[in-house]
Amino acid sequence: MAALAFVELDEGKVKKSSLEAVSYAHAVAGDVTAIVFGKTDDMDEVGKAGASKVLSVTDDKLSAPNIMAYASAIAEAMNQEGSDLLVLAKSSLGDPVSARVSIKVDASLASNVTDLPDTSGGYSVKKSIYTGKAFANTNLEGDKKIIIIKKNAIAIKEDGGSPEVVDFAPATNDSDFTVKTTKVEKAEGDILLPEADLVVSGGRGLKGPENWGMIEELAKTLGAATGCSKPVSDMDWRPHHEHVGQTGIKVSPSLYIAIGISGAIQHLAGVNSSKYILVINKDPEAPFFKAADYGVVGDAFDVVPKLTEAIKKAQG
C-alpha cells in the first residue's frame, strides 16, 4: 500500500498535526509521499516524521488555501503516485478538501480516527463520535481510502531521513478558482488555541478579569495558549476568541490546564480530545475532576502562583 499525506502549513511552518498524519501514514503503509502547498524550510521535519518523498507545490495560484483547487491537486497526486491511501489531520481545511478528494478518486472516508486500522477482517478504523463521548468501528470498503486522524492520535516519528523533494505542478482549471480568498484575519496572540500544544484556561473561579495576570504568567512560563470558559467570555472578562467549548473553539493539546472551571458538559465537549487534563479547583465535587487525568483541590490563588514558581525553578 502506498500512502499520500497532506501537510498543512501555518505561516511557512509545518503544523504538528500534519506531522502526526505523516507518521500515521508511515505506520500504516511504510511508503509515504507527502504533498505540501507553499514554501517551507521544514521539509526535513516531514522526512523525520516518515515521508521518503515530498511533492512541493509552489505555484502562486495555490499559495493561499483553496479547497477546490487543493482537492483537484491532491487527487492528481494520488493518481500520479499510485497512492491508494490518503492521510490528513482533521482541520477546517482538511475536512472539506478530503470530502472532495473522496468523490474525485472514488475513495471511502473516515474522519476523527483515533487508532491504526485493524486489517484482520477487512479494513476497520476506530473513530471518535459524539464529541468524544463514544467510539465507533467503521469498515472502509473499496480500493482507495481516506483517513482523517484526530489530533494526538499517534506519536510523531522522529528517526526518518531527509526526503526527496520534487517540484509538483498540478493541472489547474478555472472552475476551481471561482471562489477566492480576499482577506485572512487571524485571532491575536503569540500562540493560537487551535494549534496550541499546551493550553491554560480560566473560569469564573478567578472572580474577575483583574485576576487574569496569574493565568497569563503561567501560560507564558509554559509557552502555552490561554483560553477561558463560556461564562467568562460572555461577561467580557476575556475576548470571545479565547472561549473553549462546544460552541467555542475545540482544542486538542497535549496538556489542558483548567483553573477555576467547574466542567460543564459544553466545556468538556471542547477539550476532551486533550491528551492530558489537569484541573485546579477548590470544590472537590466539581464535575471536571471526573474527566481529569490529574487534579488539585485547592484555591487557585494559592496553587497557581506556586505552580508557576515551581516551573520557573525547574526551568532554571
DSSP reduced 3-state for 269: helix
**b or e along 150-183 (b: 16 or more beta carbons within 10 Å of the residue's beta carbon)?**
bbbbbebbeebeebebeebebebeeebeeeeeee
- Give the position of cell 481516506: 146
Contact present, 12 and 41 (Cβ < 8 Å): yes
Q: What residues have CB less than 8 Å from 184, skipping those under 6 apart?
A: 64
Q: Is 208 annotated as a binding residue?
A: no
Q: Is 267 annotated as a binding residue?
A: yes
- Give the position of cell 490528513: 88
Q: Is 266 annotated as a binding residue?
A: yes
Q: Is 263 annotated as a binding residue?
A: yes
Contact present, 160 and 26 (Cβ < 8 Å): yes
In sequence order, what are the beta bridge partners of 110?
147
| Cα angle 166-167-168, degrees, rounded to a multiple of 5 | 110
Q: Is 149 annotated as a binding residue?
A: no
Q: Is 281 annotated as a binding residue?
A: yes
Q: What is the DSSP letter of 155?
A: P
- Give the position of cell 506519536: 155
Residue 44 CA from chain centroid, whole number: 20
The CA-based dihedral angle spanning residues 258, 262, 268, 273, taken in that order and rounded to the nearest 10 degrees: 20
DSSP reduced 3-state for 248: coil
Binding residues for FAD, by number, are: 204, 260-267, 281
Binding residues, by number, are: 204, 260-267, 281
